């Protein structure tokens, strides 16, 4: 196993900067997830770790070796691709053994390692089949198996579950988590699905436009996002945002008003004076909103989604802004109904105009 | 309504197969004429051309023309020479052009696009324009063979083979095909530790069956039908290929039956080779979008 360290790593294609100086430390045995919207550079970053993309600047180390200029085969990595990338002209057994065959490993060793990988992934009965005779989930399992067989220092996953259907994705997610526990291996995983990121990761790296927005544990990112981007990206349904004006502030807290809000007080004392007169953005997660007769938010129900365990209600506020409220599964609501909604003061996230979290 | 639609469908099929059948006949007629004529004496052959008898095995039928053809010319030697020259050229072409295309598609190197453009530009240069310079070069090139170091490649197998082992069209076919292979397969092999050679041999070539077949057939036809170049560079009978051998039958006492017998003999290998690779050939033409 091995740690991975990126120091001021950059990537540019001509004048276009794709990765703009990334610093990340991934500890030995850690499950690190790169998450971000399409085009944020997360896959490029993973491919740079793999050695499939050149590094324009900075230092990339795996274990205690700088690997900037090493080819993929010398980096002690294995990679699982979104499209599985298993070889269609080989049987499952040949696919699993590919890396060992290339390395001229003895047949006994090859057979033993293939058998072990097949056992771990429960696909002993598939070994003589060709990829065309496998389902999507089985193919992905072969791709993962091929990675396991070589016992690499670092496993790299590039959106491995994106091509699977929803139910299979949940199953495979659990299997990956179990695999990580069993192998104790360092894993770097790229996804645009924040649920995957939250459920699998020891550490999440949120990327946007080639810049690391925040690095932390799933709950750190959820409870304490450093900026509006992270706040909006992590959590499902998405965090609701409201434009605000801080009217006044004193030892008791801030008086706040906004276009779709009744004026209310927020017991935020540390930064009261600095914030008076400022425009801010308030973020509240749908699960932190509740029905309240004297809540500061008032809107008309435009959509009700009964999910069983919870009910997602979309409200249109007086200024037309849409807000999602996650209520108890048994809550009765109908379209057109007017609701008033409140939130606990300690669940409010405040962001300055530049998007950064208000430091208090 | 359904009945009407089924009738229409049936009618369309009849029309389609009738048209296809007619086209097939047009293509098959010359071959049938050649085979039938090869079995007839010259007098009957010429008189039969005025009727459908030309396409039928009727009248005085025998294999005499074949025996006469073998007496008049060393047919076996010519076929042997052509098979050697064609076979070796096809094998070398497949290797060299696929390896070149591999480097153009999968390996990143400076000047790659320029070099590929230059190679593709050679497609528009007719062979006749470079034949004389090529002859001059070939006549002076050194060769290390069983006789030690010699100069001049004229009258040899290599002069018929080496100038043709790489060509723009075959490289283009491979480039087009390789571009359609999923890039992640190549990346997966690289990550698994494969060298470029191993990626080529273990991943790309096993997946390139259809284009290998297409390139093989196209090259086979070009090489087997070579006439101008061997006529220029081969004066000795022992290296002469089949097409140049055809001349033997047009000198003195022209005998059409023998010519037809000779043509039948040299056509059979081509048809056999095509039928052998036909399925892969059609698959590749369909997948590369290139007409043969």
Whether residue B181 is found in the same domain as residue B237: yes
Q: Which two tokens stand for residue A113?
A: 């390692």
ipTM above 0.90, yes or no: no
Give A154 to chain B, closest Cα distance, Å: 12
3-state secondary structure of A301: strand
Which helix (H) or strand (E) element contains residue A256?
strand A253-258
Domain range enclosing B82 = 70-288
Q: Which of A72, A82, A83 sits opposite B191 (nearest CB)?
A: A72
Q: Which fold has domain A4-233?
A: Rossmann fold (3.40.50)
User: Do residues B83 and B182 both lie within one domain?
Assistant: yes
Contact A110, A94 (CB under 8 A): no
Query: Is the bond leading into B229 cis (omega within 30 degrees of zero)?
Result: no
CA pair distance A294, A262, nearest whole angstrom: 10
> Cα–chain-centroid distance for residue B158?
18
Instruction: Please indicate, yes or no, whether residues B76 and B48 belong to a single structural domain of this protein.
Output: no
DSSP A269: -
Q: How does pLDDT run across A263-295, given as a tens digit for each residue? A: 888 887 666 777 888 889 999 999 999 998 888
User: What's the farthest any 2 CA atoms get from each other in chain A?
Assistant: 77
Q: Extract the tokens encoding B110.
A: 């400076």
Q: For residue A31, count other CB atoms closer than 10 A to its CB.
A: 22
Task: Kindly report the backbone phi and psi dihedral angles of residue A207, in degrees, each rounded to the nearest multiple of 5, phi listed first.
Answer: -115, 145
* Chain A residue with minimum CA distance to B182: A85
Please identify, among B30, B62, B94, the residue that sits at the C-terminal boundary of a domain: B62
Question: Same structural domain for residues B28 and B106?
Answer: no
Q: Do A98 and B189 touch (CB under 8 A)?
A: yes
Fold match between domain A4-233 and domain A240-351: no
Q: How far is A145 from chain B (nearest CA, A)?
A: 12
* Binary contact (B190, A103; C-beta < 8 A): no
Residue A57: CB atoms within 10 A of its CB come to: 13
In a mutational test of the B interface, the residue from A78, A80, A86, A89 whose CB has the highest number of chain B CBs within 10 Å is A89
pTM to 2 decimal places: 0.81
* Of residues B182, B184, B193, nearest to A103 (C-beta): B193
Q: In the predicted model, what is the mean pLDDT of chain A?
A: 90
pLDDT in tens, A211-231: 999 999 999 999 999 999 999
Which among B187, B192, B206 has the least Cβ separation from residue A102? Answer: B192
Statement to judge: residues B212 and B80 lie in one domain: yes
Sorted by sequence, the CB contacts under 8 Å of residue B22 that are 6+ apart come out as none
Best CA proximity match to A84, nearest among A149, A154, A163: A163
Distance CA B219, CA B159 (A): 16
Residues B127 and B32 occupy one common structural domain: no
Tokens of B44: 């009957």
Instruction: Please identify, among B20, B35, B62, the residue that sits at the C-terminal boundary of a domain.
Output: B62
Query: Per residue in B103-149, pLDDT tens?
Result: 999 998 999 999 999 999 999 999 999 999 999 999 999 988 888 88
Are B243 and B18 spatial neighbours (Cβ–Cβ below 8 Å)? Answer: no
Q: If chain A, 360 residues long, is cut into consecutive pieces of 10 residues, what is the mean pLDDT of each piece?
A: 91 90 94 93 94 93 93 91 91 94 93 91 90 89 91 92 85 88 92 90 94 95 94 92 86 80 77 80 94 89 93 92 92 90 90 86
Same-domain check for residues B52 and B76: no
Do B88 and B232 belong to one domain? yes
**In terms of domains, do B11 and B89 share one?**
no
Is pLDDT above 50 for B290?
A: no
pLDDT at B188 over 80: yes
Q: Both B220 and B182 in a single domain?
A: yes
Cα(A133)–Cα(B130) distance, integer angstroms: 52
Distance CA A247, CA A277 (A): 6
Query: C-alpha A44: how far from its chain's center?
Result: 16
* Nearest chain A residue (CA) to B184: A85
How far is Cα A212 from Cα B290, in angstroms, rounded to an integer?
46
Same-domain pairing of B243 and B135: yes
Break chain A into its structural domains and give their ranges. 4-233, 240-351
Residues of B with a Cβ under 8 Å from any A Cβ are: 182, 184-185, 187-195, 198, 202-203, 206-207
Q: What is the DSSP string of chain B?
A: -HHHHHHHHHHHHHHHHHHHHHHHHHHHHHHHHHHHHTTS-HHHHHHHTTSGGGGS--SS--SHHHHHHHHHS-HHHHHHHHHHHHHHHHHHHHHHHHHHHHHHHHS--TTHHHHHHHHHHGGGS-HHHHHHHHHHHHTT-EEEETTEEEE---SSSHHHHGGGS--HHHHHHHHHHHHHS-HHHHHHHHHTT--HHHIIIIIIGGG-HHHHHHHHHHHHHHHHT--HHHHHH--SGGG--HHHHGGGGTSSS--HHHHHHHHHHHHHHHHHHHHHHHHHHHHHHHHHT---
**Do A313 and A297 contact (CB within 8 A), yes or no?**
no
Residues of A in contact with B207 (CB under 8 A): 88-89
Please tell me the CATH code under which domain A240-351 is placed: 2.40.50.140
Q: Which residue, among A48, A51, A73, would best test binding to B if mutated, counting the most B CBs under 10 Å from its CB?
A: A73
CATH number at residue B184: 1.10.3720.10
Same domain for B80 and B52: no
For A35, the token pair is 């998450």
In chain B, residues with a C-beta closer than 8 Å to the C-beta of A71 are 190
Smallest Cα distance from A53 to chain B, Å:
10
- Smallest CA–CA distance, residue A178 to chain B, in Å, is 23
Instruction: Please name which of B172, B161, B162, B164 lies closest in space to residue B98, comparing C-alpha atoms.
Output: B172
Of A73, A89, A103, the CB nearest to B190: A73
Residue where one domain finishes, among candidates B43, B62, B81: B62
Cβ contact, residue pair B187, A98, below 8 Å: no
Question: Which residues of B are less than 8 Å from A162 in CB distance?
Answer: none
Number of domains in chain B: 2
- Residues of chain B contacting residue A78, judged by C-beta atoms under 8 Å apart: 191-192
A178 Cβ contact partners less than 8 Å away, ≥ 6 residues apart: none
Residues B25-73 pLDDT 10s:
999 999 999 999 999 999 999 999 888 888 989 888 999 999 999 998 9
Inter-chain contacts counted by CB atoms under 8 A, chains A and B = 61
Show the CA angle centred on residue B71, arms to residues B68 and B76, nearest 5°.
105
């Amino acid at each position: 196993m091995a740690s991975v360290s990126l120091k001021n790593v950059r990537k540019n294609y001509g004048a276009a900067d794709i990765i703009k100086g990334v610093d990340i430390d991934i500890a030995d045995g850690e499950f690190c997830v790169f998450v971000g919207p399409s085009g944020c550079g997360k896959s490029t970053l993973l491919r740079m770790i793999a050695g499939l993309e050149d590094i324009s600047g900075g230092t990339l180390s795996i274990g205690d070796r700088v690997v900037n200029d090493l080819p993929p085969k010398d980096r002690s990595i294995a990679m699982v691709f979104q499209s599985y990338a298993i070889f269609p002209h080989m049987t499952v057994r040949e696919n699993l053994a590919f890396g060992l065959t290339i390395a001229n490993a003895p047949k006994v060793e090859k057979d033993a390692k293939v058998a072990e990988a097949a056992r771990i992934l429960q696909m002993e009965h598939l070994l003589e089949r060709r990829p065309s005779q496998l389902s999507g989930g089985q193919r992905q399992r072969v791709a993962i198996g091929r990675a396991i067989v070589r016992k690499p220092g670092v496993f790299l996953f590039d959106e491995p579950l994106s091509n699977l259907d929803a139910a299979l994705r949940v199953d495979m997610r659990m299997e990956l988590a179990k695999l990580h526990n069993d192998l104790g291996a360092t894993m770097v995983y790229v996804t645009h699905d924040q649920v995957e990121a939250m459920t699998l990761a020891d550490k999440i790296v949120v990327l946007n436009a080639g810049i690391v927005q925040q690095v932390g544990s799933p709950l750190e990112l959820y409870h304490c996002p450093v900026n509006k981007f992270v706040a909006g990206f992590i959590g499902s349904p998405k965090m609701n945002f409201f434009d605000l004006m801080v009217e006044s502030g004193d030892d008791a807290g801030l008086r706040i008003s906004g276009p779709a809000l009744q004026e209310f007080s927020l017991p935020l004392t540390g930064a009261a004076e600095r914030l008076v007169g400022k425009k801010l953005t308030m973020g509240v997660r749908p699960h932190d909103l509740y029905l309240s007769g004297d809540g500061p938010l008032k809107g008309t129900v435009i959509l009700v989604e009964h999910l069983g365990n919870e009910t997602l209600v979309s409200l249109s506020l007086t200024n037309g802004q849409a807000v999602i409220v996650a209520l108890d599964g048994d809550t009765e609501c109908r379209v057109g109904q007017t609701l008033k909604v409140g939130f606990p003061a300690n669940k409010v996230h405040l962001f300055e105009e530049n998007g950064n979290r208000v430091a208090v | 309504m359904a009945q009407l639609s089924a009738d229409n469908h049936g009618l369309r099929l009849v029309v389609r197969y009738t048209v296809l059948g007619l086209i097939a006949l047009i293509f098959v007629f010359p071959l049938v004429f050649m085979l039938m004529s090869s079995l007839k004496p010259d007098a009957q052959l010429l008189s039969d051309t005025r009727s459908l008898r030309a396409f039928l095995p009727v009248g005085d039928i025998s294999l005499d023309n074949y025996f006469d053809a073998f007496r008049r010319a060393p047919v076996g030697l010519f076929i042997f020479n052509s098979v050697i020259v064609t076979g070796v050229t096809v094998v070398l072409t497949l290797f060299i052009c696929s390896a070149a295309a591999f480097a153009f598609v999968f390996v990143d190197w400076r000047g790659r696009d320029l070099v590929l453009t230059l190679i593709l530009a050679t497609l528009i240069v007719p062979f006749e324009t470079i034949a004389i310079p090529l002859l001059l070069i070939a006549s002076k090139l050194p060769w290390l063979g069983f006789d030690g170091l010699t100069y001049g490649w004229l009258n040899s197998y290599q002069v018929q083979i080496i100038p043709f082992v790489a060509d723009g069209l075959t490289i283009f076919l491979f480039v087009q095909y390789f571009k359609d292979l999923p890039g992640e397969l190549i990346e997966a092999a690289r990550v698994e530790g494969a060298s470029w050679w191993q990626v080529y041999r273990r991943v790309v070539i096993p997946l390139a069956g259809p284009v290998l077949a297409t390139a093989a057939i196209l090259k086979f036809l070009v090489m087997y039908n070579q006439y101008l170049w061997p006529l220029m560079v081969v004066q000795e009978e022992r290296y002469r290929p089949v097409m140049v051998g055809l001349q033997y039958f047009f000198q003195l006492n022209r005998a059409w039956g023998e010519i037809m017998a000779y043509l039948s003999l040299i056509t059979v290998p081509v048809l056999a080779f095509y039928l052998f690779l036909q399925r892969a050939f059609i698959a590749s033409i369909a997948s590369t979008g290139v007409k043969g």
